[in-house]
Structure 1
């Protein structure tokens, strides 16, 4: 494919106006200092500022530089392990509480967007979970039935012969629709959170890297590129961009590159044919693909974790394009206008985590499904700092695992991504031959 002219910046940012000015001097002292101006950090700040605490949010880049403006805009329950898997590990009661947090996060974001009047193209579009082999379809249907009976999660199966009623492709073997899953425009949502935080009295400062968080008698001394700030409470909300600021956290999350391409403008009828129900889509590949029509239904946004290089869009863009055109051959006639990447953070147990380490509050590890959970746990962090009992979650007392010799650099990812990508391709190839 021709890579010339492709813009390596999020398409979503072109649909929002100029950001508010986030420069300016730092205060000498605040009640709450939040590191990271994404969904988690801003929701925490909204809560603490509205609760009467002087609040400062700092970010090493422009606010929202990370996955808060780079994600695909798909909104789910965000808890990956099944009720059965969690029950085997934690017992039935705890497992149900963990799964319920995911359902609460999904409900919360819809209620929050509505109650605050956020302009972010939010809609309950539903999600089509597509099966890339017949065996995966059977497993999806079984799992969906279990979730309906045990958890009350609404869904319905779509067999392969009815698939085009949901998605304009013959590449899959049916799937399951989750009608309560949602979609939004990521950059618009972030910009609205930034507006709410500033309106509540939060000071937000971009391009202000934090180099150290030091305990003091009265709280913390936070050293930044713009000076040191004393804070009673500190929240770290950096997820896939955590780096080495808190080594204990770095050992517990795996930063993984995720990549998105967006097509040029498409004919209206083509978009209607490919996405007749306007749902967001994910599939059962281990190296997952996730995609949708853009909110204006003029383009296709197509994402996945396809690159062993982890940071190079020149590697990921052709791979994503080939995968997109395999699913939708009609798109070979059209160019890619935008391609970018972002970093998500996986935990070793595939669960989000929230807690306190050495007095520092944190929430992270959304495992690539954090649009609802990041904001929800940010809100809960704010409640915790305010001392509110509502801040308690089922994640609070979970052990936050790591692995021996892991320090935050995922040296094993290139081999793992290559292996799983190859396995997905082999499975799909044989499934297609058996049609």
Structure 2
């Protein structure tokens, strides 16, 4: 039965790579010395590199894999305000001024990415289609409405509630119990978007080299000696932009991000009248589960791309695909016989306070921890950390003064995920 869900020609790789193959950026040698060396060539790294290169700093970006191999070309392409804690939650942890500033950064990030795409004419299938955030039970619908109504007016994204009786306007499924629409949220093709950011970074003067892992970092006077697969490079400043792929190279950062697998499938092409009926507004869809599902139509509206956190350590997308197909079929029963053409996964980086973090530690600059909402946040905070390296006042963020937390005994291996996932799976199944 498992084999029957896979279409002929099925691929264990990102659907986005069909229209945006990973670029070759190999090199035989590296410069002996640069002003700025960026580790990681995803959205964060490329935006940081663009800023420093525009600022006149010689900039080198290195990646252990192909450029954008990680979540920058694997995500669902949903673009939102992205800051997870509410104003009330943040006010309980910090003072109201900091809480206000952090929430405002989410709105700033959404505005920034839209302006960037428009002003630079980025070819990435950008659409302000909105997002429907569905309640998985009646209690969650009530809680969602109460939470949104309680946000300060100057921090609230535009929204409107959709009761279950009117839900068919957003999704042709009885699975949910109403939800909220955020009309200003958007969608893009993440693979194409990454290629466009690569173009911008290189046009600014940054050099990007793929398949060149950084093997060591050593403080050296006013900078660092960076050991790589192609030799050593002297760098005055180093930016760590590894997010969900942060490893033993930078143990301080590794102790502060939690790599969590996120999984997506793409269906075979469907008739346009079917996709138009199932998702009539072409919005991005997410839900209120802790183990969230998120899905959308492909840019040509011929496929459904269905994602979720359906595994703990599984790294074979062919194993996770049947689980996603099962849930997709519960939401849309008529898709039970529809085949899967692509299945893939990637690692997002959660943090212990569910906030992104930006700053400098022991000489290393960093921006990471986007908690599964990294398209706008990585773009925005990549730009911000680049500005900070340049010493620009506009690079400052309310998050500069927020402590980047870890936990005792945590060294980067999230041993606590399995029981946490079990707990949240049970909680999601209850009417609370």
Q: TM-score, normalised by structure 1?
A: 0.96
| Alignment partner, residue 379 of structure 2 | 375
Q: How far off its partner does 1:152 sit?
A: 3.7
- 1:148-227 matches, within 5 Å, as 149=153, 151-227=155-231
| Alignment partner, residue 239 of structure 1 | 243
| Alignment partner, residue 120 of structure 1 | 124
Secondary structure of 1:337's counterpart equals: strand
Q: How far off its partner does 1:423 sit?
A: 2.8
| Alignment partner, residue 6 of structure 1 | 10
- 1:252-401 matches, within 5 Å, as 252-401=256-405
| Alignment partner, residue 36 of structure 2 | 32
Q: How far off its partner does 1:412 sit?
A: 1.4
Q: Distance in 1 between matches of 2:21 and 2:321?
A: 27
CA distance 1:41–1:394, shift in 2 (3 Å) = same
Secondary structure of 2:398's counterpart equals: coil
| Alignment partner, residue 89 of structure 2 | 85
What are the Cα deviations for residues 353-398 of structure 1, in whole angstroms up to 9, with x where unaligned? 0010110100100000110000100000110111110000011011
Q: Distance in 1 between matches of 2:231 and 2:98?
A: 44
Q: How far off its partner does 1:150 sit?
A: 5.6
Q: How far off its partner does 1:227 sit?
A: 0.7
Range with greater deviation from structure 2 (312-321 or 147-156): 147-156
Q: Given the alignment of the two structures, is residue 407 of structure 1 paired with residue 421 of structure 2, yes or no?
A: no
| Alignment partner, residue 95 of structure 1 | 99
What are the Cα deviations for residues 224-255 of structure 1, in whole angstroms up to 9, with x where unaligned? 11111000110000000011111111110100
Q: TM-score, normalised by structure 2?
A: 0.97
| Alignment partner, residue 69 of structure 2 | 65
Secondary structure of 1:68's counterpart equals: helix
| Alignment partner, residue 418 of structure 1 | 422
Which runs of 5 or more structure 1 residues have no equivalent in the other structure? none
CA distance 1:148–1:154, shift in 2 (3 Å) = farther
Tell me which stretches of 4 or more aligned residues in structure 1 moved more than 4 Å. none
Do the aligned partners of 1:78 and 1:102 also contact (CA within 8 Å) in 2?
A: yes
Do the aligned partners of 1:128 and 1:282 also contact (CA within 8 Å) in 2?
A: yes
Q: Given the alignment of the two structures, is residue 130 of structure 1 paired with residue 134 of structure 2, yes or no?
A: yes
1:49 to 47, 53, 58: 53
Do the aligned partners of 1:144 and 1:176 also contact (CA within 8 Å) in 2?
A: no
Q: Distance in 1 between matches of 2:25 and 2:250?
A: 28
What are the Cα deviations for residues 97-136 of structure 1, in whole angstroms up to 9, with x where unaligned? 0000010000000001111110001111111000000000
- 1:132-147 matches, within 5 Å, as 132-147=136-151
Do the aligned partners of 2:22 and 2:68 also contact (CA within 8 Å) in 1?
A: no
Q: Distance in 1 between matches of 2:410 and 2:315?
A: 20
Give aligned pairs, total. Answer: 428
Q: Distance in 2 between matches of 1:198 and 1:263?
A: 34
Q: How far off its partner does 1:18 sit?
A: 6.5
Do the aligned partners of 1:147 and 1:153 also contact (CA within 8 Å) in 2?
A: no
Do the aligned partners of 1:344 and 1:368 also contact (CA within 8 Å) in 2?
A: yes
Q: Distance in 1 between matches of 2:400 and 2:152?
A: 27
Range with greater deviation from structure 2 (1-10 or 371-380): 1-10
What are the Cα deviations for residues 250-278 of structure 1, in whole angstroms up to 9, with x where unaligned? 11010000000000000111100111111
| Alignment partner, residue 110 of structure 1 | 114
Q: Distance in 2 between matches of 1:282 and 1:218?
A: 46
Do the aligned partners of 1:256 and 1:310 also contact (CA within 8 Å) in 2?
A: no
Do the aligned partners of 1:240 and 1:255 also contact (CA within 8 Å) in 2?
A: yes
Q: How far off its partner does 1:20 sit?
A: 4.7
CA RMSD of aligned residues (A): 1.3
Q: Distance in 2 between matches of 1:194 and 1:124?
A: 23
